[in-house]
Amino acid sequence: MSLLEVRDLRITAGGVDLVRDLSFDVAAGEMLAVVGESGAGKSVTARAVVGLLPAGLRVSGRIRFDGEDLVGAAAYRKLWGRRIAFVPQDALSVLSPVHTIGDQLALAVRSVRGVGRREALARAVAALDRVGIPDAARRARAYPHEFSGGMRQRAVIAMATVNDPDLVVADEPTTALDPTVQARILDLLDSFRERAGTAVVLVTHDLPVAAARADRVLVVYAGRHVESGPAHRVLREPRAPYTAGLVASLPSPHSTSRYLPVLPGTPGSPGPGCAFAPRCPAVVDTCALREPESVEWRDGHRVSCHRLADLPPRTADLFEGITA
């Protein structure tokens, strides 16, 4: 049973579709990675899910959380910080520079639980400790500028999870952090899934992270569904040329070439057919005329490509590089 159901999500800006007909589900305790190149509509999708779209964008379709349709700010207000939390890419955008980290977390606790200041602060310190901030009681008295980038991001995760939400939506939470800190933050998200059954939607452009951490992946291009399903299937046996191109552009330990293959071209304005057609090595006439529908290939692995049935199988291993 899905905790989050998104159906036919459409997001437009000035009459242009940023996201079109996107549907996906996330179950309790599951991590869904939303992957694709920059500008593919990942972040705007994440923000739509948590009801934090910038002004000027229009959203339609259905977002259902724990059996309830989320429509309008009032529906989200009941859930923000309590059952649904958002971790943005840039920690500084959510931390106030003029309040201590501890006060900010304590305020998040009090606004949801209505407890006294002392208890809220104790919970704030416990949350900082849980995300691995050393000497949390002392550090709670520090201001955001006194934290390193990795510590700030951990503080934001502490803030997002201090009230044990059921769903965390994290938009590139480890971008610009060094690999060790990245791994710790991803470990943290895993620990919340295991400890509290928290569902996670992880927006990332990092396919190896998606392969290593996510239960399922959703590959998007120009705001459209490309391929989705269990991570081990989609990323080891990609069926869509776009996913295959993304996987092939990763470094392989078996390659003898000095150069990485790259996906040719850049995303442009989609025409009436498949959005990837101008860049696709497998394009045929139909592709430019009709948008492909999402079709189940097998066992929950869905693909949007007119040539799903006739393209040869490919296999790839993100950890071993391309194996066949």
Residue 107 or 283 having the CB closest to ligand SF4: 283
Give the binding range for ligand SF4 (CB under 6 A) out of 134-142, 152-160, 210-218, 272-280: 272-280
Q: Establish if 283 lies at the interface with ligand SF4 (CB under 6 A).
A: yes
Q: Establish if 224 lies at the interface with ligand SF4 (CB under 6 A).
A: no
Q: Which of 42, 152, 154, 307 binds ligand SF4 (CB under 6 A)?
A: 307
Give the binding range for ligand SF4 (CB under 6 A) out of 40-48, 122-130, 206-214, 304-312: 304-312
State the residue for tokens 């980038």: 149
Neighbours of 174 (CB within 10 A): 23
Give the binding range for ligand SF4 (CB under 6 A) out of 113-121, 187-195, 211-219, 275-283: 275-283
Residue 85 or 280 having the CB closest to ligand SF4: 280
Q: Which of 154, 216, 225, 306 binds ligand SF4 (CB under 6 A)?
A: 306
Q: Establish if 240 lies at the interface with ligand SF4 (CB under 6 A).
A: yes
Q: Establish if 86 lies at the interface with ligand SF4 (CB under 6 A).
A: no
Q: Which of 9, 108, 201, 280 binds ligand SF4 (CB under 6 A)?
A: 280
Backbone angles phi, psi at 32, to 5 degrees: -105, 125
Minimum separation from the CB atom of position 238 to ligand SF4 (A): 11
Q: Establish if 301 lies at the interface with ligand SF4 (CB under 6 A).
A: no
Q: Which of 105, 292, 302, 318 binds ligand SF4 (CB under 6 A)?
A: 292
Name residues contacting ligand SF4, limited to 194-213 (CB under 6 A): none
Minimum separation from the CB atom of position 298 to ligand SF4 (A): 18
Q: Establish if 241 lies at the interface with ligand SF4 (CB under 6 A).
A: yes
Minimum separation from the CB atom of position 155 to ligand SF4 (A): 42
State the residue for tokens 């490309």: 226
Q: Which of 282, 294, 295, 321 binds ligand SF4 (CB under 6 A)?
A: 282
Q: Which of 80, 147, 276, 297 binds ligand SF4 (CB under 6 A)?
A: 276
Q: Establish if 303 lies at the interface with ligand SF4 (CB under 6 A).
A: no
| Exposed/middle/buried for residue 75 (C-beta within 10 Å: 0-12, 13-18, 19+) | middle
Footprint of ligand SF4 on this chain (CB under 6 A)?
240-242, 274, 276-277, 280, 282-283, 287, 292, 305-307
